[in-house]
């Protein structure tokens, strides 16, 4: 099996994982707290910049064509133009940033957590800015409703995604079940 085929299979598998974890939703005002950002962090930590970002793009494309993969079993192009659309677009940046930082600094635990924190902050910024534009909110109001309430949950999810992602990478490489080199 070629390296690129393995990468595509892994990207598709992780897109499915993102879709499943997206259904773990807790209402928190206009923007819900979901398992999506944990899944994005896990995907980028495990797969890296290129394959992780492809996985996120597959997930988003599945949702945009109407499959109910977004939080609350939603899907369709309309979700992209709703108040949560900026977060969805931000997932691309989140995945890419996590993988990029990990490529530069390696897969050490504290640095992987830092990469996940930076990626989550980037997704929150994208989401907050889109929330401001799509809902005609002031920057202050968008920050208070679309960024601030998510700082602690995102920090927890970033630590968890880094921990689980590194654990899986180490465990699977020891069992020789996961290797992007073959």
pLDDT in tens, 118-148: 999 999 999 999 999 999 999 999 999 999 9
pLDDT of residue 31: 81
Residue that the structure tokens 């930076």 belong to: 118
- In this structure, what DSSP letter does residue 69 have? -
pTM above 0.85, yes or no: yes
118 in Cβ contact with 37 (< 8 Å):
no
Residues in the chain, pLDDT under 50: 180-182
Quick one: fold of 5-175? Answer: Arp2/3 complex 21 kDa subunit ARPC3 (1.10.1760)
What does the domain layout of the chain look like in residue ranges?
Answer: 5-175
Cα–Cα distances in angstroms (integers) from residue 5 to residues 12, 20, 180, in the given order = 11, 23, 10
């Amino acid at each position: 099996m070629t390296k690129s085929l393995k990468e595509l299979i892994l990207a598709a598998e992780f897109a499915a994982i993102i879709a499943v974890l997206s259904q773990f939703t807790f209402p928190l005002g206009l923007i819900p707290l979901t398992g999506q950002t944990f899944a994005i962090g896990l995907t980028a930590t495990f797969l890296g910049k290129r394959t992780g970002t492809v996985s996120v793009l597959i997930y988003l494309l599945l949702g945009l064509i109407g499959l109910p993969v977004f939080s609350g079993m939603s899907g369709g192009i309309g979700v992209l133009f709703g108040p949560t659309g900026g977060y969805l677009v931000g997932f691309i940046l989140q995945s890419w940033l996590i993988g990029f930082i990990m490529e530069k600094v390696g897969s050490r635990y504290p640095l992987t957590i830092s990469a996940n924190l930076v990626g989550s902050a980037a997704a929150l910024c994208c989401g907050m800015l889109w929330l401001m534009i799509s809902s005609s909110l002031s920057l202050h109001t968008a920050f208070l409703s679309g960024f601030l309430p998510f700082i602690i949950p995102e920090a927890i999810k970033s630590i968890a995604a880094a921990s689980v992602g590194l654990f899986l990478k180490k465990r699977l490489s020891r069992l020789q079940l996961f290797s992007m080199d073959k």
